[in-house]
Structure 1
Amino acid sequence: MSSELSFFDLFWQASILVQLVMLTLLIISVVSWAFIFQRNKALSQASSEIKKFEDRFWSGADLNRLYQELSARQSIGGLASLFCAGFKEFVRLSKSSTTHPDAIMDGTHRAMRVSLSREVDSLESHLPFLATAGSISPYIGLFGTVWGIMNSFIALGGQHQATLAMVAPGIAEALIATAMGLFAAIPAVIAYNRFSHQVEKLENNYANFMEEFSSILHRQALANSKDGQ
């Protein structure tokens, strides 16, 4: 490609609207990549925390001691958050001797579901932006393409003799807008699909632990109920 058709020359020679389209797509791409790196780190960390907590929980650790240890932390998340929410509600309801075991478990399960919903919302953070970027970026680029080609043909109509050199810059800038739209959209779509699958797996892990932990607490509630009789 000659120097007259370099990317930066085409950008500065483009109309203001096409320049705005290119800048918009560049911003979308930069923000998308920032969210991609951030979500990749966050989801990898969440997956690692699940393994660490499950190893600790199923090693036979005392639940009261584990709860006190986790509660002392400034911030907790993942399975630790579900565990603390469920165990705290279970202990609170168990202190009432008139509370039926089924009522205790209903309140405990409800507390864990609320915590689960918060954790999933946190995991899905920024994913809507990636979905939106992947959906609209090609259309934004296409808009810049149509506008650039339209301007090229309008300018060509005022000339007595048409040459390829006259329309090449306008068509080239139009095609660059399309390319930038695809460059912004493709990574966003791939990342969104990948992260959505990871979030679904993590949510399943949370739900499975919640059911298993509920079973443990239910047996404890029944035992406490028999002891109180």
Structure 2
Amino acid sequence: MLVLLPPSETKHPGGGGAPLDLSALGTPELNPLREQLVAAVVGLAADVRAARAALGLSPAQDGEIARNAALRCSPTMPAIERYTGVLYDALDVRSLTRAQRRRAAGRLAVGSALFGLLRADDAVPAYRLSAGSSLPGLPALRSLWKPVLTDVLAGVDDLVVDLRSGAYAELAPVPGAVTVQVLSERPDGTRAVVSHFNKAHKGRLARLLATTTAEPDSVVRLRALLRRAGLHVEHDGGTELTLVVPAAAVTR
């Protein structure tokens, strides 16, 4: 099973690993495009005003541009520890046992605008580039990534659970992947799509899938696994699951 996570705009700073080495990352067939994008991001950082415009940053965020300027020489840390935010707080990989962490390393991956696909333990520096960013002189990131990344993801033999947000899923859709919609249910039975706290519920779901000893190989078996874990999951056919949470649990 491969669980695809969205990245986050914010990153943990620092790290104890050696500087970025693209040859050490998984899926080496992505390296030519990775190198092109790294060069573009580093070069863009030399023009602070242009970088602000391209990356959608304010002057108060110039530190993000400085990170990009140092992208090739900054310390690294495992990708799954680099990203921050609601989803990653709920995933909480640093609290996993050694056995759980080994299992998670084999199952979790992050969709990245800069690196395309990162396995959990791929060592990366802090950087700033979003799926919607426009790098001067280059086509849209979706146009760049889709031809190469789609083939990589299509070649995954395991069940793919795609928890990426819309913009990152569009970089390279995965035919046949299981997707998850999160709905809140009020006491009167009415339902609504969960927006912000959708990330927290998907983070908890990712933690469960990363650490379970089960190996679901279909959407039906995945649904059964989640139901055994006490989750209210509905499946109306196809490859989408609906996770229904009480409205009172939406903010937790």
TM-score, normalised to structure 1, is 0.24
Structure with more of its chain in helix, by fraction: 1
Bigger strand fraction = 2
In terms of Rg, which structure is larger?
1
Q: Which has the higher contact order (CA 8 A, sep 6+)?
A: 1
